Structure 1
């Protein structure tokens, strides 16, 4: 019996009470993480140092035609932004993060897209970057959006031998509405969108997502003063059409859609502001036999752009 006991307690073969540890040991630990996330690797040390410097650096202030950098915070928002192709320059990953499928997908998407830096950072640094938001160990940095100049939109249309078809937004503050308008402009052959510099939605991650990638080919311009920008368009021979519930006529009756035109869409609640409304050459309404009082900016712009594209075809 002593010999048998010695044989059973040897290093080879299964042992009593192992609980399947040897079997689990054969399952592997998954794919090798990127060098930036492997503790002790040179790239990990460099990435950690850069993350600390970035976290301590104050966010840039918007100036001229550039917005500020934006942070997308949390595992689900980060993964959704990467899926939708939202431009990004850096993904920050918390050190010793619990590796679930969302973290793995985020790392995989970054690897597939390329051009996005991957940096590992201690939790206190990410807390500082996000002002204490629940980042769940993932923070995606969106670079500043490069806005076009309003004059560029008309110039690009004329260079292509086409009459400008532009949408201007007055008092629209929801980035998802902006993204929807950008998507409609792209779908119906428009040449861009103009937004005011203040008290208006900008090209955030939310706007990029709603645009479904069309923001990459449809320019958004930012106007210091929307009224003056519309007046400049009028001097250049472009008709300015405002959408208003109390408009003088219906959109289907407007022949101006066949030529160079700027369509101005106000907010769902307040509509066009007084000065912008007075600047418009025409104020027209969208007929709604169903009885709805108003449409949001994205839907309203889509209806008018379809009518314009139909006439131009």
Structure 2
């Protein structure tokens, strides 16, 4: 099979081909009948692919490696699980685009099955994302969530990036560690969390109280809105509490991924979940 034929087949399998963009793998993370998931997750980069190979719940369909990447996997005793195809770096470049830092590893895999909302543990912290669309931000949030042992991230089926490509690379392996729960209606999901005992705390610059002073308890759901727009009105109304992050400097707002890690640190510290 020629490189051109392989590239066309790769694009058909991934839904969009290069870079796992907004339309690539649209159904990754979406549930079908019988808990079957459609679409393919495109994973690239050392930490992302190595974490996927180490995850027994992740089914690897295909694996492309450069000679250097294959040698490093062997040196670190990482099982490729499927026979890899050894390729030149420029072939992976052609499939992902010139801006993708793939480090010689590219995998096509099944999306991970996600737990149902009512199956989330009644302890610890859950993050809820209200239409945060930037895959870099969501990936960074997932990485912080893994660091703080977050139980799950809840996001919307629409107006959110797919669990593939740029998001997976930005998450640096956290996609294998933090379940990603996709819901059709966020307000309804928040009501379900409220009904099952979660304290749902929305984070907003105009919140009534500082997160550091709000009484917190487990299980806790921290709700983050998109940059600029913040939480949607219905989301705010559905949260048990809306709190703000008080900052001492002249700049009073943070990038949403930075706000997420600060909120997680405050909440985890106050709940006794750190150290």
* TM-score normalised over the length of structure 2: 0.72
CA RMSD in angstroms, aligned pairs only: 3.6
- Where relative contact order (Cα < 8 A, 6+ residues apart) is larger, the structure is 2
Instruction: Provide the residue aligned with 1:277 in structure 2.
Output: 236
Consecutive unaligned residues in structure 1, runs of 5 or more: 1-44, 73-77, 94-102
* TM alignment of 1:108-119, pairs within 5 A: 108-109=71-72, 112-119=78-85
Say which SS state the counterpart of residue 146 (structure 2) adopts.
helix
Return the match for 2:127 from 148, 156, 167.
Answer: 167
1:83-98 to structure 2, matched below 5 A, reads 85-86=51-52, 89-92=61-64
The structure with more helix, counted as a fraction of residues: 1
Aligned residue number for residue 196 of structure 2: 236
- Aligned match of 1:142 in 84, 96, 108? 108
Larger radius of gyration between Structure 1 and Structure 2? 1
**Ranges of 4+ aligned residues in structure 1 off by more than 6 Å:** none
Distance 2:10 2:170 in 1: 28
- SS of residue paired to 1:258: coil
CA–CA distance in structure 1, aligned partners of residues 42 and 144 of structure 2: 26
Match of 2:159 in 1: 199
Q: Does residue 1:64 correspond to 2:31, yes or no?
A: yes
Q: Which residues of 2 match residues 1-313 of structure 1 at below 5 A?
A: 54-55=9-10, 59=14, 62=27, 63-64=30-31, 66=37, 68-71=39-42, 78=44, 80=46, 85-86=51-52, 89-92=61-64, 103-109=66-72, 112-119=78-85, 130=95, 140-151=106-117, 154=120, 157-158=121-122, 163-255=123-215, 257-313=216-272
Within 2, Cα distance between the matches of 1:53 and 1:312? 51
Q: Summarize the Cα distance change of 1:113–1:175 in structure 2 as closer, same or farther, 3 Å threshold.
A: farther
**Is contact 2:202-2:224 (8 Å) kept?**
yes
Distance in 2 between the 1:175 and 1:104 partners? 29
Structure 2, unpaired ranges of 5+: 16-25, 54-59
Partner Cα separation in structure 2 for residue 286 and residue 52 of structure 1: 47
How big is each residue's C-alpha offset from its partner over 1:248-272, in whole Å with a ceiling of 9 and x where there is no partner? 11101111x2232211001122111
Which piece of structure 1 moves more, 217-226 or 140-149?
A: 140-149
Q: Tell whether the 8 Å contact from 1:265 to 1:297 is kept in structure 2 after alignment.
A: yes
Instruction: Tell whether the 8 Å contact from 1:67 to 1:146 is kept in structure 2 after alignment.
Output: no
Give TM-score scaled by structure 1 length. Answer: 0.64
